[in-house]
Amino acid sequence: MKFTLVILGAPYSDSASQTALAFAQAALANGHNIYRLFFYADGIHNATRLAAPPQDEHDLPASWQQLIEQHQLDAVVCIAAALRRGLLDATEAERYQKGSDNIAQGFELSGLGQLIEASAASDRVLTFGP
Protein backbone atom coordinates (compact mmCIF):
# COMPACT_ATOMS: atom_id res chain seq x y z
CA MET A 1 0.00 0.00 0.00
CA LYS A 2 1.25 3.48 -0.88
CA PHE A 3 0.47 6.20 1.68
CA THR A 4 0.68 9.97 1.77
CA LEU A 5 0.62 11.43 5.27
CA VAL A 6 -0.57 14.96 5.98
CA ILE A 7 0.72 16.21 9.32
CA LEU A 8 -1.17 19.20 10.74
CA GLY A 9 -0.05 19.12 14.38
CA ALA A 10 2.97 20.85 15.84
CA PRO A 11 5.46 18.59 17.59
CA TYR A 12 4.43 19.34 21.16
CA SER A 13 0.94 20.86 20.98
CA ASP A 14 -0.94 17.55 20.69
CA SER A 15 -0.33 13.92 19.77
CA ALA A 16 -0.79 14.31 15.99
CA SER A 17 2.90 14.49 15.12
CA GLN A 18 3.86 11.56 17.38
CA THR A 19 0.97 9.46 16.05
CA ALA A 20 1.91 10.22 12.43
CA LEU A 21 5.54 9.32 13.12
CA ALA A 22 4.53 6.03 14.77
CA PHE A 23 2.23 5.22 11.85
CA ALA A 24 4.97 5.95 9.31
CA GLN A 25 7.46 3.76 11.18
CA ALA A 26 4.96 0.89 11.44
CA ALA A 27 3.90 1.17 7.80
CA LEU A 28 7.50 1.08 6.59
CA ALA A 29 8.36 -1.81 8.93
CA ASN A 30 5.45 -3.77 7.44
CA GLY A 31 6.58 -3.28 3.85
CA HIS A 32 4.32 -0.40 2.88
CA ASN A 33 5.49 2.69 0.99
CA ILE A 34 5.28 6.32 2.09
CA TYR A 35 4.87 8.28 -1.12
CA ARG A 36 5.06 11.68 0.54
CA LEU A 37 4.96 13.38 3.92
CA PHE A 38 3.17 16.72 3.68
CA PHE A 39 3.56 19.10 6.61
CA TYR A 40 0.83 21.74 6.69
CA ALA A 41 -0.55 24.36 9.09
CA ASP A 42 1.19 24.05 12.49
CA GLY A 43 2.65 20.74 11.34
CA ILE A 44 5.40 22.74 9.62
CA HIS A 45 7.07 23.10 13.02
CA ASN A 46 8.17 19.47 12.71
CA ALA A 47 10.61 20.66 10.04
CA THR A 48 12.61 23.10 12.16
CA ARG A 49 16.24 22.47 12.89
CA LEU A 50 16.12 24.82 15.88
CA ALA A 51 13.96 22.78 18.26
CA ALA A 52 15.73 22.05 21.53
CA PRO A 53 13.42 20.02 23.78
CA PRO A 54 14.55 19.05 27.28
CA GLN A 55 16.76 15.96 27.40
CA ASP A 56 14.02 13.87 28.99
CA GLU A 57 11.56 14.58 26.14
CA HIS A 58 11.33 12.93 22.73
CA ASP A 59 12.85 15.18 20.04
CA LEU A 60 10.10 14.81 17.43
CA PRO A 61 11.66 17.07 14.76
CA ALA A 62 14.92 15.08 14.98
CA SER A 63 12.98 11.81 14.79
CA TRP A 64 11.19 12.96 11.64
CA GLN A 65 14.51 13.99 10.14
CA GLN A 66 16.06 10.60 10.94
CA LEU A 67 13.11 8.73 9.42
CA ILE A 68 13.24 10.86 6.28
CA GLU A 69 16.97 10.31 5.89
CA GLN A 70 16.90 6.59 6.70
CA HIS A 71 14.10 5.81 4.21
CA GLN A 72 14.82 8.58 1.67
CA LEU A 73 11.27 9.92 2.07
CA ASP A 74 9.84 12.87 0.19
CA ALA A 75 9.07 15.42 2.93
CA VAL A 76 7.29 18.53 1.71
CA VAL A 77 6.49 21.55 3.85
CA CYS A 78 3.74 23.88 2.64
CA ILE A 79 5.56 27.06 1.71
CA ALA A 80 2.67 29.41 2.54
CA ALA A 81 2.18 27.88 6.00
CA ALA A 82 5.94 27.88 6.60
CA LEU A 83 6.50 31.51 5.64
CA ARG A 84 3.61 32.64 7.86
CA ARG A 85 5.17 30.83 10.80
CA GLY A 86 8.80 31.81 10.20
CA LEU A 87 10.17 28.56 8.77
CA LEU A 88 12.53 29.38 5.92
CA ASP A 89 14.98 27.63 3.63
CA ALA A 90 18.07 29.47 2.36
CA THR A 91 16.30 30.75 -0.77
CA GLU A 92 13.35 32.22 1.13
CA ALA A 93 15.61 33.66 3.85
CA GLU A 94 17.52 35.52 1.15
CA ARG A 95 14.33 36.61 -0.65
CA TYR A 96 12.84 38.07 2.52
CA GLN A 97 16.18 39.43 3.74
CA LYS A 98 16.26 37.35 6.91
CA GLY A 99 19.50 36.56 8.68
CA SER A 100 19.34 32.79 8.34
CA ASP A 101 17.26 29.77 7.45
CA ASN A 102 15.90 27.22 9.90
CA ILE A 103 14.51 24.30 7.93
CA ALA A 104 16.01 20.92 8.76
CA GLN A 105 17.85 18.86 6.18
CA GLY A 106 15.61 16.49 4.26
CA PHE A 107 12.59 18.80 4.16
CA GLU A 108 11.69 20.98 1.17
CA LEU A 109 9.35 23.93 0.81
CA SER A 110 6.72 23.60 -1.90
CA GLY A 111 3.08 24.29 -2.62
CA LEU A 112 -0.25 22.54 -2.26
CA GLY A 113 0.16 21.14 -5.77
CA GLN A 114 2.51 18.59 -4.22
CA LEU A 115 -0.30 17.41 -1.95
CA ILE A 116 -2.74 17.12 -4.85
CA GLU A 117 -0.22 15.15 -6.91
CA ALA A 118 0.55 12.87 -3.95
CA SER A 119 -3.17 12.27 -3.40
CA ALA A 120 -3.56 11.10 -6.97
CA ALA A 121 -0.46 8.87 -6.79
CA SER A 122 -1.24 7.24 -3.41
CA ASP A 123 -3.59 4.45 -2.42
CA ARG A 124 -4.49 6.26 0.81
CA VAL A 125 -4.04 9.77 2.22
CA LEU A 126 -4.10 9.97 6.01
CA THR A 127 -4.38 13.23 7.90
CA PHE A 128 -3.01 13.65 11.43
CA GLY A 129 -4.14 16.65 13.42
CA PRO A 130 -7.00 18.98 14.10
Distance CA 26, CA 126 (A): 14
Q: What angle do CA 35, 121, 109 make, to 5 degrees?
A: 55
Q: 36: helix, coil or strand? A: strand
User: Among 8, 89, 79, 68, which residue's Cα sits nearest to residue 43?
Assistant: 8
Under DSSP, the state recorded for 33 is E
Query: Could you give the residue numbers annotated as active site?
Result: 78
